Structure formats: structure tokens, C-alpha cells
Amino acid sequence: MILRELQQLLAKLYDAPVEYDVEDYLIEDRAQLEALAGQAAAGDEQVVLVEGDDEVRVGVYIDRAVLERLGSCDPLTALVDGNLQDYCTALEGVSHFHYLMWNLARNRSVSLLELELQADVDKYAGAVKLASEQCAGRLPIALHERLFDRVGYLPGLSVECRSRYEDANRYAARFCRSIEERFLRRRRSRPEAWLAEVRRFFRQDHHQKLREATR
């Protein structure tokens, strides 16, 4: 149920529900993912789209061990150091699925960079939302640094793929830093303005997001 709850978190955060439940598309087994995608899992999270003759099959892979750890230490109850990495892994997969489905319902195309950029913003925005509920709005210490500076990439990535991840991280870091400085600092906290800003960003297309993140 953790993935469904994370999807509900994003749906409420952005006021952007979709009719598809991520749990119905979940793949926990690496062999099943390989059979669907025709390749082995590159990490603990992956969303795959496989085009057939008259349909597109969707799968959301989250490693079973990640889900088990989240079941034992639920970030929706308490987001802490011990579950932050697993929260990010699961939230990224849910974000990709949710954003794809939301845009497909509106006949909008989505670039791979846009998908990764939104997921990086979602991880931060979701953590802020949880903090508002769990810690009276106090952000976890060095949240921005932990999500955007202390990152690593899987070995063996192509130059193109690694560049896309790095670009998404950089753009998301700039946007989220701007949000934090304008709306989330204690003396000028404006949660309603922060929420409006991330909802606006969510609805922007690829080019609008990049312009927003480089202002």
C-alpha cells in the first residue's frame, strides 16, 4: 500500500489526481521486469513502457527489499534519516508513473529530461509536505543538500543518460532552492504560496520548466 499512499501524496500535493493506481502496475521481481522490458533492471527503481501492436504496456518496478524496508519504517508516518533513501527510490518510481499518466490523459508528450526533473522536484516537495504534517512545518536538517548534493549515479550509464540525470538534478536543485528561500524560511514562511508555486510548475511543459529553473 505504500506506493498507493505516495501516489495519493502527489495527487493531493499538486491537486492532480489520475484514474490509474500505481499498485496495479507494480513489478517487484527482477526476472518479471526483464521479461517485460527485455533487459535487466539498472537499479532499484524503473518505469518501463513497452509498445505493442495496439497498446502500450506499463510497468513500475520497485525492488522488493525497498518496499519491505518502507513497510517496517514508513516515511508517511515519520520521514527520518533511516528511510530517506528508500523514500526517494519509491517516490521516484511513483512520480514517473503519476506524471506520465496525468500527461497522457491530456494528450501531452513528456520528454525524459522533464520526467526526471519533475521526479527530483517531487522528492523534495513530498518531503516538505510530510514535514508540514509530521514536524509542524520544520524542514529536515540539510534536506536540500541531502537530496541534491549528496547524489550518486549508477555505474555503466551512457554519457547521454548520465548527462540527463545530472541536468535534471541541477535544474530541480535551482527551482527547489528558490522555493525554499522565498516561501519556506521561518521568518517569511508562506505555505500557501509555496503550494501554488509547485502546482504551477507541475503543470508546465518541458521548456517552461527549464526556463523556470534557470531564472
Sorted by where each begins, the domain ranges of the chain are 2-213
d(CA 93, CA 47): 6
- pLDDT of the residue at 54: 67
Indicate if the pLDDT at residue 86 is higher than 90.
yes
Indicate if the pLDDT at residue 166 is higher than 90.
yes
- pLDDT of the residue at 44: 85
Q: Is 47 helix (H, G, I), strand (E, B) or coil?
A: strand
- pLDDT of the residue at 93: 95
Buried b (16+ CB within 10 A) or exposed e, 98-117: bbbbbbeeeeeebeebbbbb
Strand partners, 47: 60
Strand blocks (E) in the chain: 26-27, 45-51, 56-62
- pLDDT of the residue at 17: 96
Strand partners, 118: none
d(CA 126, CA 91): 8
Indicate if the pLDDT at residue 39 is higher than 90.
no
CB 96 within 8 A of CB 152: no
d(CA 118, CA 95): 8
d(CA 1, CA 123): 18
- pLDDT of the residue at 37: 67
